[in-house]
Amino acid sequence: MEPTGDFENDPNLTDKRFPGNPTRSHRSKEPLKVVAELGSWERHPDEAIQKMLTGLAQLTAEGKNEIID
């Protein structure tokens, strides 16, 4: 993906969990240009998906399921 306009670091990741934005996560109100497609993708194991879902449910229960705009 390539931004076609202004973009900023995603504050949900870069301000809290990963200083310096190593995941290259960004936000933009402008369209994104597709510059390449994945040839293949390996799905997460079911156990890993369940762990992620459990973590999200815990954040929701604690009232920490917020998106910073």
pLDDT one digit per residue (tens) for the chain, 69 residues = 888 998 887 766 666 666 776 677 778 889 989 999 989 999 999 999 999 999 999 989 999 887 766
How many degrees, rounded to 5, is the angle at CA 42 between CA 12 and CA 3?
45
- Residue 45 has a pLDDT of 97
Answer whether CATH 3.20.170.40 is correct for domain 2-62. Answer: yes
Q: Measured between alpha carbons, how far is 21 from 13 in angstroms, rounded to an integer?
A: 7
- Residue 34 has a pLDDT of 92
3-state secondary structure of 3: strand
Q: Measured between alpha carbons, how far is 38 from 11 in angstroms, rounded to an integer?
A: 26
- Residue 28 has a pLDDT of 85
- Residue 14 has a pLDDT of 60
Reference 10, options 54, 64, 60, 67; nearest CA is 67
- Residue 18 has a pLDDT of 63
